């Protein structure tokens, strides 16, 4: 029998999720605004010294960052997990003597399943995969924002750039599970409740990187990720659609117009289950051919489809649900 939550527990869950949403949407702008404001006050030496230090520290996010167990184990993340609730499911062992690239699908509006599962310890990644370190790679522009970059690094996030991936897969030892949300901004615009669409037929860069460094590929699917918000989908060539495409081209991410359960921004209480599939062995090819990239990309898409259909029933989907790969 499911235990009823106390009012205090319900409050803590709501305030923890609200903190995450506001951080995702507003913390970057708030940090920039704060630093600009301080430049015009008597405290101007503080932002000046920080900017000088940031320039010196510019490449740290791509050279291993500064992740801290303290931030990744905040009690707040467990309240975020319990709000939905979220769960991480293991289907196969990951050898701590190897490196991996985990392709996570779908993106959803905010990739909350990926963040909670791989950038915090709320879902118990280290307990499920002992000796393996999850490394969530996100938009590189975040690490150029003052102060915000420190927070992102503390949670164990890294830029999704070639130098960053090269460092994680060749200069940080073994046991690194590099997590990439493959569909990116294009997939976020396809996020709709009850829809399972992934954007990856032309996304082959992660396969090329896996071949260059001999990192096994692992498909990951977050069931329920698309259900936690209701997004407004603009018709193609409409003004809203054109603005989204322009913003995506300029900034690297797309602004989604969405609503939640209450207060507009609060997500719906929908279970999110992130299932980690079996590794696909990948040989090391310093200069992979296009044929090799296409071959392993095809194997990956087959494995992703197999993972989706193999676990959809246990994750609350009906047999009629299909995975659409575009």
- How far are the Cα atoms of 31, 180, 305 from residue 111, in angstroms, in the given order? 22, 11, 20
Are 163 and 61 spatial neighbours (Cβ–Cβ below 8 Å)?
no
The predicted pLDDT at position 25 comes to 86
CA–CA dist 118, 141 (Å, integer): 20
Tell me the C-alpha distance between 166 and 284, whole Å. Answer: 13
**The pLDDT value given to residue 262:** 72
How much is the pLDDT for 271?
A: 96
Question: H or E element: which one contains 87?
Answer: strand 86-90
* pLDDT value for 194: 87
- Backbone φ/ψ region at 147: left (φ over 0), alpha (ψ -120 to 50), beta: left
Predicted pLDDT at 106? 96
Nearest CA-CA partner of 178 in 208, 138, 212, 136 = 136
Q: Residues of 252-265 as b/e, b for ≥16 C-beta within 10 angstroms?
A: ebbebebebeeeeb
How far, in Å, CA of 127 to CA of 117, rounded?
12
* Contacts of residue 47, Cβ cutoff 8 Å, sequence gap at least 6: 35, 36, 38, 39, 146
pTM, two decimal places = 0.92
What pLDDT, on the 0 to 100 scale, is given for residue 1?
46
Q: Tell me: the pLDDT tens digits for 2-57?
A: 568 899 999 999 999 999 999 988 999 999 999 999 999 999 999 999 999 999 99
For the chain, list residues with pLDDT below 50. Answer: 1
Domain range list for the chain: 7-325
């Amino acid at each position: 029998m499911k235990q009823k939550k106390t009012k205090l527990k319900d409050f803590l869950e709501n305030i923890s999720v609200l903190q995450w949403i506001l951080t995702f949407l507003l913390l970057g702008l708030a940090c920039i605004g704060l630093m600009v404001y301080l430049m015009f006050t008597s405290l101007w030496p503080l932002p000046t010294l920080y900017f000088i230090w940031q320039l010196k520290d510019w490449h740290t996010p791509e050279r291993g960052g500064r992740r801290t167990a303290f931030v990744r184990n905040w009690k707040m993340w467990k309240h975020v997990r319990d709000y939905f609730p979220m769960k991480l499911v293991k289907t196969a062992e990951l050898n701590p003597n190897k490196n991996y690239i985990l392709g996570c699908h779908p993106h959803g509006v905010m990739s909350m399943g990926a963040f909670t599962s791989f950038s915090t310890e709320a879902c118990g990644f280290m307990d499920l995969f002992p000796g393996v370190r999850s490394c969530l790679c996100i938009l590189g522009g975040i690490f150029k924002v003052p102060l915000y970059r420190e927070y992102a690094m503390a949670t164990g996030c890294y830029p999704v750039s070639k130098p960053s991936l090269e460092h994680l897969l060749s200069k940080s030892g073994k046991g690194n599970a590099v997590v990439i949300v493959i569909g990116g901004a294009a997939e976020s615009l396809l996020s709709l409740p009850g829809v399972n669409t992934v954007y990856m037929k032309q996304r082959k860069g992660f396969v090329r990187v896996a071949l260059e460094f001999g990192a096994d590929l692992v498909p990951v699917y977050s069931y329920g990720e698309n259900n936690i918000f209701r997004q407004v989908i603009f018709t193609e060539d409409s003004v809203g659609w054109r603005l989204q495409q322009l913003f995506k081209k300029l900034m690297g991410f797309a602004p989604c117009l969405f609503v939640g359960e209450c207060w507009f921004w609060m997500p719906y209480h929908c279970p999110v289950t992130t299932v980690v599939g079996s590794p696909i062995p990948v040989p090391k090819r310093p200069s992979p051919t296009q044929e090799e990239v296409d071959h392993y990309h095809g194997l990956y898409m087959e494995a992703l489809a197999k993972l989706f259909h193999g676990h959809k029933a246990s994750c609350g989907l009906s047999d009629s649900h299909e995975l659409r790969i575009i």
